[in-house]
Amino acid sequence: MAEQKPEEQTAADEDAVDVEQTDGAVTEAAAAADSDNEADAADLDGESEAPVDLEAELEAAKDAALRAQADAMNVQRRADQEIEKARKFALERFCGDLLSVVDNLERALESNGDEQGSAALAEGVELTRKGFMDVLAKYGVETIDPQGEPFDPETAQAMSMVEQADVEPNSVVAVMQRGYLLNGRLLRPAMVMVSKAPSGE
C-alpha cells in the first residue's frame, strides 16, 4: 500500500476533527432540546397544579371569613345581653333602699289603723304607699307575699317555726315583712313564720 503524503495525512486529520466537532455539536443540541422539553413539561405540570392550589386557598379564605363573621355575631349578641341585663338591674340598689320607706308606711298603717280619729291619716298613708308601689312596679318591682303558701326558701326566710295542727307543716302562717323581686330577680326575701306539726303527733 502506498504511503500517504504529509499533505494528505493533514487533510484526513482535519476531516476527522470536523466530524468529531460536528458530532459533539449534534449531541449538545440534542441534549439542549431534551432539557427544553423537560422544562416545558415541568411548566405544564406547574400550570395544572396552580388552579388546584388557588381553589384550596379560596376555600380556606371563605371558611376563615365565615368563622370571623360568626365570632363577631356572638360577641355582639353577648354585648346586647349584658347591656339589657345592666339596664334591667341598674335600679336594684335604689329600689332596695326605697323598700325601707315602704316598710315604715306599712308600720304606720298597722299602728294607727284602729285608733279613733286616725282614719284620715291611715287613708293618706295608704294612698302614699300605693303610689310608691305603683312607681316601683313600673320599674319591674313585684311583691312577695306568701301568706298561706308552702314555704319557699328561694324567696322567703323563715324567722321562726310554730306548731299548728290545722295547717299543713312547712306552710307560711305569717308574713312579718314582705319580700320583693326586681325583674324576676330576688331583691329581698320575705320574712315569714312557718308551721310545723305538733310535737305530740
Paired with 163 in beta bridges are 196
Amino acid 16: pLDDT: 47
* Domain extent at residue 131: 91-139
CATH number of the structural domain spanning residue 166: 2.30.22.10
- Give yes or no: residues 82 and 25 share one domain: yes
User: Could you tell me if 86 and 96 lie in one domain?
Assistant: no
Single out the residue in 23, 56, 90 at which a domain terminates.
90
- Coil, helix or strand at residue 178: coil
Domains held by the chain: number: 3
Do the beta carbons of residue 193 and residue 173 sit within 8 Å?
yes
pLDDT mean across residues, the chain: 77
Helices 92-112 and 119-138: angle between axes, nearest 10 degrees? 160
Q: What angle do CA 52, 56, 59 make, to 5 degrees?
A: 140
User: Among 122, 139, 156, which residue terminates a domain?
Assistant: 139
Asked if residue 3 belongs to a domain, the reply is no
Question: Can you spell out the DSSP letters for 56-122?
Answer: HHHHHHHHHHHHHHHHHHHHHHHHHHHHHHHHHHTTHHHHHHHHHHHHHHHHHHHHHTTSTT-HHHH
Going by their DSSP bridges, the two strands 190-196 and 179-182 should be labelled as: unpaired
Query: Are residues 27 and 60 both part of a single domain?
Result: yes
0.75 surpassed by pTM: no
Q: Look-up: residue for cell 291611715?
A: 122
Q: Give the three cell numbers for residue 94.
A: 335604689
Tens of pLDDT along 48-75? Answer: 555 668 888 888 888 888 898 888 888 8
Q: What is the pLDDT of residues 74-114, one digit of tens each?
A: 888 888 888 887 777 777 877 887 888 888 888 777 766 55
Q: Is residue 56 part of a domain?
A: yes
Q: 62 and 106 share a domain?
A: no
